[in-house]
Amino acid sequence: MSFPIHRPRRLRMHPGLRRMVRQTRLSVERLICPLFVRSGTGVRQEIRSMPGQYQWSVDTLVEQCRELAGLGVPAVLLFGIPTHKDAVGSEAYRSDGIVQRAVRAVKEACPELVVITDVCLCEYTDHGHCGVIAERHGVRDVDNDATLPLLVRAAVSHAEAGADVVAPSDMMDGRVGAIRRGLDEAGFAHLPIMAYAAKYASSFYGPFRDAAESPPRFGNRHTYQMDPANGDEAMREVAADIEEGADLVMVKPAVHYLDVLWRVKERFGLPTAAYHVSGEYACLKAAAANGWIDEKGAVIESTTAIVRAGADLVVTYFARDLARWIRDGI
Ligand code: PBG
């Protein structure tokens, strides 16, 4: 393979040929668009730390979903912002909660869309943690086993509203198994679970907590989300979720965890999603707004890297832009 017989540049000279030998291709079928929904009508409130992303009311959310479906984006991931938060996150599992209402409306308007719901309590609790709080030896922390039944209720209520997939993001131990049993008992044995299997305690969730109005009011999420330093632990988390019945697994965040993504795809071979998270979005947006990077190039490069590392599905706030660029031939 040595020069001058071999000249790798030969395949890069003609733009058509360069495209032909391109190994990783982005396709719209891979994209999942996260959306935030709150009460009211006609709401389209831009999220300060996520330019170009909005909190929607159910009616404007439906319009947004129509647009995405029209662009060929196959799936949305819904997050609710409740009007009322309490210690046990009641609105997360009320049949007339914000996400449940949103699911019904979106399914009616765009039956072809795959509607995925995030199952977690942090948007719904007044303390902002992903489960209920208990105090032990004077230390407040999330009570794993007391949280499980509430997550099950949330997942079942989403299923009853018509969700196509539920996606637990809380990182409690045993939640995939509990949700699987709960769904089966409620008559939803056919409903897939997309598990946020390797979810790290990341500083890159900051803008999301702005968007979902869900920062923890005390402490942090370190007792339930994973230490960014750990790769092997991700293998154990993913294996456990698969054993408990996960149909799709996710690695989150994406770009800083491409090694984990690669290992998960290689080892388990399940349909694997990666979540290009709010902070990753915000960094690209901020640099682009300052003229420091080319937004389109950087977004396509980041998304391509995520797919190259093994993601079958990409959860991304850039879904709408990517769908347009892909349609127009990138
Ligand atoms: C809920 C949840 C979070 C995200 C997805 N689901 C926030 C968190 O764990 O703090 C983050 C998504 C993003 O940053 O884009 N637990």
Tell me the three state secondary structure of residue 286.
helix
Question: Does residue 95 lie in a domain region?
Answer: yes
What domain count does the chain have? Answer: 1
Flag whether pLDDT at 1 surpasses 90: no
Catalytic residue among 107, 252, 265, 285: 252
285 is catalytic: no
Determine, yes or no, domain membership for 207.
yes
Residue 252 is a catalytic residue: yes
Tens of pLDDT, residue by residue over 232-266, are 999 999 999 999 999 999 999 999 999 999 999 99
18 in any annotated domain: no
> What is the residue with the minimal CA distance to atom 10 of ligand 1?
205
Q: Answer yes or no: is 240 within a domain.
A: yes
Q: Which residues contact 251 (CB under 8 A, 6 or more apart)?
A: 197, 198, 234, 257, 260, 261, 264, 272, 273, 274, 275, 311
Determine what percent of the chain is predicted with pLDDT higher than 70: 100
| Domain contains 104 | yes
Burial of 77 (0-12, 13-18, 19+ CB in 10 A): buried
Angstrom CA distances, 259 to 144, 151, 199, 310, stand at 29, 30, 14, 10
pLDDT tens-place string over residues 126-184:
999 999 999 999 999 999 999 999 999 999 999 999 999 999 999 999 999 999 999 99
- The pair of structure tokens assigned to 111 is 């039956």
Tokens of 262: 């690669």
Q: What residues are paired with 44 via a beta bridge?
A: 56
Domain assignment present for residue 3? The answer is: no
Q: Contact 43/56 with Cβ under 8 angstroms?
A: yes
Q: What percent of the chain has pLDDT over 90?
A: 98
Q: What per-residue confidence (pLDDT) applies to 330? A: 81
8 domain-assigned: no
Question: Mapping DSSP to helix (H, G, I), strand (E, B) and coil, where does residue 85 land?
Answer: coil
Distance in angstroms (rounded) separating the CA atoms of residues 208 and 33 = 14
The residue whose CA is least distant from atom 14 of ligand 1 is: 205
Instruction: Give the CATH number for residue 67.
Output: 3.20.20.70
Domain membership of residue 230 as a residue range: 25-328
Whether residue 297 is contained in a domain is answered as yes
209 contacts 181 by C-beta, under 8 angstroms: no
206 Cα: distance to centroid of ligand 1 (angstroms): 9
Quote the pTM value. 0.97
